[in-house]
A = this chain, B = another copy of it.
C-alpha cells in the first residue's frame, strides 16, 4: 500500500479539528508513542503526528481526513501491548484514546457499565466493585492497560478460565469505521441476533477494522467468597500435569495459573523478598469463588487434595484479601520482573489445548536447553495459555537476533504440532504477523483479507498489523 506523508497542511487541518493542545509533533512529546512494551528497536517507529481526540466525532473527523489523504492511522490505548500493535510502523498519525477516559454509566439494574476506551481496566474493576459488582476481565496489566486496548486485543487474563476472555464481557461497541462513519452495534440486550455479530468481529481486530469509541461491558454479581491456593511443586512437569486433572475434576476454577522456577526467582528478585517455597520447581496458583462459603471450601479442598495426591509439596490457602494479594503479586509481576533482569526480551504468548500443556512446557524446556538460553514460563495454565520469554541477557545484537528467530521458529512449529496457536491474548500486531501468515491456509487468509479490504479499502487502519502489509 502506498501512503502519503503528513504534510504541514494536514497538521494545520488536524489543529483546526482538535485544537492545538491535542495535536503533537514535537519529538520529545511524541517519542513515547513510538513503542509499546515489546522492547525491541525493530518494533519502534516515530509517528509523524500524534492526535488526542476528545470524542467520537473528533475521531471520525481524523479518520475521514486520513482516509481522504491516504495517511496511515494507528489507534493507541495505554501502549501496554506486547505485539507492536500500537506502534506506527508505517508512519502517519497515532490516534491516542487517552483523553476519552470517562465512565459514562454504571447500570446496577441491568449490570452494565458503559465507558470510553481510555478508562484503565483497573478503574473499570474498581468502579464495578464499589457497586458490589464484578468486571471479570482481569489482564495482569489491568492497572495500566486501557479497556479499549483490552477490546482491541481481546485480552484474556487471570479469570478467563471461569468467566471467559474480554469478548465475553462486551455486549456493545460504538465504532468509528475506516470511512469515518460512527456506528453502534449491540448495547444492553444480553441476547440479540438482530443482524451479524459485528461486535465480536471488532473485538480482537487490533484497530485494523475501526476504532472503538464506546464500550458496553457486562458486569456480574461480586462473588461473596473467594479463596486462593498457592501450591508449590518440586519440578515443573509434576506441577503442570496436575492442571488437566484439576480441569476435569468437575469444578471450574476462577483462575488456574502456573510459574516455573525461573519466574519464581525473578519475582523474588523484583519484589526483593523471599516467597514461600521460593526454591520450588514450580507454583500452581488457583482461585475459586462463589456465593456460598461451603461451596468455595468444598471446591478448594477438592483441588488441594488432588494436588497433594499428585506431588504437591504443600497447599497454602489464602481466604483473606491481604494474603490473596501477596500470592497474586508474585504472579502478576512476571513481565516487570523479567524486564528488570533482562531489559531486552521476547515475550511469547502461545496457546495449546489444555491437555497438551505438559507437552508444550516440555518443548519450551527442550528448546531452552538446545539454544542454551533462559526462557522463564508462567501463565494461564487452565486456558492452555503460556507466557514464555526469551531473555537476551548479555548477548550482542547479532547473537540475540539469531537466537530469537531460531527459538521462535522452533517454538511455533512445536505449538502448531500440538494443535495450538500463536497468541492466546497478546495479539498478533506487527510482531507476529509474518508468523501468522506463514501458518495460515490460503483459504483462511482469503477470508481475513476479504473482510479487511471490504471494510478498509484504502488500508489506512493500522496497516501491517494482524495481516502483513
Write the residues of chain A forming the contact surface with B, with a CB cutoff of 8 angstroms: 107-112, 132, 153-154, 156, 160, 164-165, 167-168, 177, 181-185, 187-198, 200-201, 203-205, 209, 220-222, 224, 244, 247-252, 290-292, 294-295, 298-299, 351-355, 380, 383-385, 419-428, 432, 436, 440-441, 443-444, 446-448, 450-451, 453-455, 466
Contacts and interface: CB of A to CB of B under 8 A. Distances in A.
Given A196-B466, A250-B222, A295-B292, A383 B191 contact: yes
A201 B195 CA distance: 10
A164 B162 CA distance: 13
Contacts of A444: 183-185, 195
A188 B428 contact: no
A446 B181 contact: yes
Contacts of A248: 108-109, 111, 221
Contacts of A420: 189
11 contacts: A110-B355, A182-B443, A183-B441, A183-B444, A190-B351, A193-B426, A194-B428, A196-B205, A196-B451, A220-B252, A451-B451
A167 B197 CA distance: 10
Contact of A189 (B191, B195, B351): B351
B384 A189 contact: yes
Nearest to A201: B201
A427 B383 CA distance: 32
A191 B425 contact: yes
A158 to B, nearest CB: 12
A427 B193 CA distance: 6
B448 A455 contact: no
Given A191-B384, A450-B454, 8 more contacts: A110-B353, A184-B441, A187-B353, A191-B385, A195-B444, A221-B249, A290-B290, A451-B455
Contacts of A164: 168
B421 A192 contact: yes
B355 A195 contact: no
Contacts of A425: 191, 193
Contacts of A251: 221, 291
Contacts of A424: 189, 191-193
Contacts of A466: 195-196
A425 B165 CA distance: 23
Contacts of A354: 109-110, 190
A384 B181 CA distance: 30
A450 B457 CA distance: 11
Contact of A428 (B111, B181, B195, B294): B195
Q: Which 9 A-B pairs have CB atoms at the shortest separation, nearest pair first?
A: A454-B454, A292-B295, A295-B295, A109-B355, A183-B443, A191-B424, A200-B200, A294-B294, A188-B353
A244 B108 CA distance: 10
Contacts of A191: 156, 160, 165, 351, 380, 383-385, 424-425
A276 B163 CA distance: 37
Contacts of A204: 193, 196-197
A36 to B, nearest CB: 16
Nearest to A432: B194
A244 B196 CA distance: 28
Nearest to A302: B291
A380 B189 CA distance: 12
Contacts of A448: 195-196, 198
B450 A197 contact: no
Contacts of A380: 191
Q: Which of A112, A168, A450 has the most CB of B within 10 A?
A: A450
A194 B419 contact: no
Q: Which of A193, A194, A201, A444 has the most CB of B within 10 A?
A: A193
A375 B309 CA distance: 59
A366 B275 CA distance: 66
A354 B189 CA distance: 8
Contacts of A112: 353
